[in-house]
Amino acid sequence: MTQPGVVFILKGYPRLSETFIAQEIRALEQRGIPIRIVSLRHPTDRHVHPVHREIAAPVNYLPEYLYQEPLRVLRGWRRARRLPGYARAFRQWIADFRRDPTPNRGRRFGQACVLAAELGDPANYPRRLHAHFLHTPASVAYYTHLMTGIPWSCSAHAKDIWITPDWEKREKLAAMDWLVTCTETGHRHLEQLASPPEKTALVYHGLDFARFPEPPARPPNERGPFTLLSVGRLVPKKGFAGLIDALGRLPREIDWRLRHVGGGPLKDELEAEAKRLGIADRILWLGAQPQETVLAEYRAADLFVLNCRIAADGDRDGLPNVLMEAQSQRLAVVSTKLAGIPELVIDGETGALVAPDDAPALAAAIATLLRDPALRDRYTEAGFQRVRRLFAAERGIADLERRFRADLR
């Protein structure tokens, strides 16, 4: 493995739903930070975004399941056993496994053995391991750090913060140099677990406005038919069942159509519910799409809706980039008062926010904005100005560049 300055450890690469990570890697490359990508999983999306094609970093895929590459795993384990920190890493893994006796825990240690072995000669080790997500990628980074002594850090986001047990977060935070996270809600939570608290920092992803330039003027639409747009994976935390419920409650005189972008396991269930409510013919499920297609959808829509909620297992969004993307294209948004969303969308000023799991309130907010084009325009312009002023990607990239540049020096 050719040794770069920083090894980024990702759960999967490339992923259409993680544009913010690809944007970050590309921006850091442009600033001269040498990066190599290590992925725990192979890609499953049929498309890639333009930014993925621009990234120069080589990619190494670890064995996704250990039984699929037994010889590689065995070679990795034999080499890893000779590393000075292997015994310490093994003890930590045993302690973790006793508290979390799952196949996933065993798989992460095996992947860490392969990664540590394939890093090669210690004289050529990378300067840093950096995990995106505090759960499984951070586990691989943590065990590899213990085996090799390479410093490590982490970017935490949403699900990984809220479904990882506190004991695990505390121990990882104690072992890493620093952590950045992308919402004030997540930052406050992790700050309470870190010692010292200053080890954590709030760093918004923001948008690369070169990829989301100001849109052309669109003709006003006061009477419909209205195009609603939602972008997100069809999983419980995105609240699409509640959105279908809300759409079924809209007054009959409002002529609307919903276009959805994204894949996911709940598609059949949601289609069946839409059919039961008699609105299936008004909904088009487009599946996962590349960025240029999503951009065109933003520019053709009248209203963007994202019904985020907390799933039964505690999973939730942080600050969904799709809300920033929609506002950057002068599209009014309706979402929920959850996690980092109110940090971006100011209810009644730059968009409309309702409580999670409140389909009647969501229906009322949608109906109000479709019936009131002046209010929709006001939210559109205010949201556009706020996202351009406060959520440019350059600020966060500059912070990360400073941190990684210190390693290279």
Residue-wise pLDDT for 194-229, tens only, equals 999 999 999 998 999 999 999 999 888 988 899 999
Q: Provide CB contacts within 8 A for 91, sequence distance 6+.
A: none
Report field, pTM of the whole predicted structure over 0.85: yes
* Cβ proximity of 317 and 185 under 8 Å: no
Q: Rounded to the nearest 10 degrees, how much is the dihedral formed by the CA atoms of 113, 115, 119, 122?
A: -40
Tell me, what's the pLDDT at 3? 52
Contacts of 262 (CB under 8 A, 6+ apart): 17, 231, 232, 233, 234, 238, 287, 288
pLDDT at 349: 98
Four-point Cα dihedral 256, 266, 236, 102, nearest 10:
-170
Task: Give the separation between CA 115 and CA 60, rounded to whole angstroms.
Answer: 9
Secondary structure of residue 358 in the 3-state scheme: coil
Q: Identify the H or E element spanning 345.
A: none
Domains and CATH numbers, the chain: 6-206+392-408 (3.40.50.2000), 226-390 (3.40.50.2000)
Question: Measured over all CA atoms, what is the biggest interatomic distance in the chain, rounded to whole angstroms?
Answer: 72
What is the predicted pLDDT for the residue at 4?
Answer: 65
Stated as kind and residue range, the H or E segment containing 236 is none
Closest CA to 300 of 371, 373, 226, 240: 226
Residue 46 confidence (pLDDT): 85
Which residue carries 């294209």 as its tokens? Answer: 329
Q: State the Cα–Cα distance between residues 127 and 407, nearest whole angstrom.
A: 6
Which residue, 264, 265, 276, 274, is CA-closest to 241? 274
Please calculate the CA angle 313-160-127 and round it to the nearest 5 degrees. 165
Query: Residue-wise pLDDT tens for the chain (409 aa)?
Result: 455 699 999 999 999 889 999 999 999 999 999 999 999 999 988 889 999 999 999 999 999 999 999 999 999 999 999 999 999 999 999 999 999 999 999 999 999 999 999 998 999 999 999 999 999 999 999 999 999 999 999 999 999 999 999 999 999 999 999 999 999 999 999 999 999 999 999 999 899 999 999 999 988 898 889 999 999 999 999 999 999 999 999 999 999 999 999 999 999 999 999 999 999 999 999 999 999 999 999 999 999 999 999 999 999 999 999 999 999 999 999 999 998 999 999 999 999 999 999 999 999 999 999 999 999 999 999 999 999 999 999 999 999 999 999 988 7
Using CA atoms, how far residue 150 sits from 126, 178, 255, 303, 372, in Å, is 7, 14, 59, 47, 57
**Which element (helix H / strand E) includes 391?**
none
